[in-house]
Structures are given as structure tokens and as C-alpha cells.
Amino acid sequence: QAHLPATLIVEVLAGTDAHARVGLALREALSRSTLFEIQPGGVPREQAGIWVYTFPLAWRSRP
């Protein structure tokens, strides 16, 4: 059974240091996932006062 790739997109209001903490927390949480692994390319960008984090995900291989 094939699994489609997934992308997690998170938007955080800019103007505080919260966006950095959110990005780090998400990356750490996803790194512990048994279902997904983060692919390269999760670079945050600011757009109209909002930080947009895009995390390309792939299903981890199942035994």
C-alpha cells in the first residue's frame, strides 16, 4: 500500500520570539515521530506579519 507524501504547514504570528520556539518545538516533535520523518526544505519565511513553516514529511518505512 503506497502512502502519499505529506506537508505540515504551520503559521505563527510574527513580532515575538515565539515563532522561533514554535519552529524548534515542531522540528523536535517531528523528529521523534514513528510515522513521519522530516525531509529537507523546512525553511520558515515571513509573509504579511506571519511566519510560515513548511515541513515536508515522508512516511517512515514500516517493517
**Structural domain boundaries, residue 44:** 6-59
The pLDDT of residue 51 is 82
28 inside domain: yes
Q: Which residues of 33-50 are buried (b: 16+ CB within 10 A; e: fewer)?
A: eeebebeeebebeeeeee
Among 21, 54, 56, smallest CA distance to 38 is for 56
The pLDDT of residue 1 is 46
32 inside domain: yes
Please determine, for residue 40, whether its predicted confidence score (pLDDT) is greater than 60.
yes
Average pLDDT over residues 29-57: 78
Stated pTM of the model: 0.55
1 inside domain: no
End-to-end CA distance of the chain: 13
pLDDT tens, position by position, 1-37: 455 667 878 888 777 677 678 777 877 887 787 777 7
14 inside domain: yes
11 inside domain: yes
30 inside domain: yes
Domain count, the chain: 1
10 inside domain: yes
Give the burial class of 61: count Cβ atoms within 10 A of its Cβ; 0-12 exposed, 13-18 middle, 19 or more buried: exposed
The pLDDT of residue 62 is 57
27 inside domain: yes
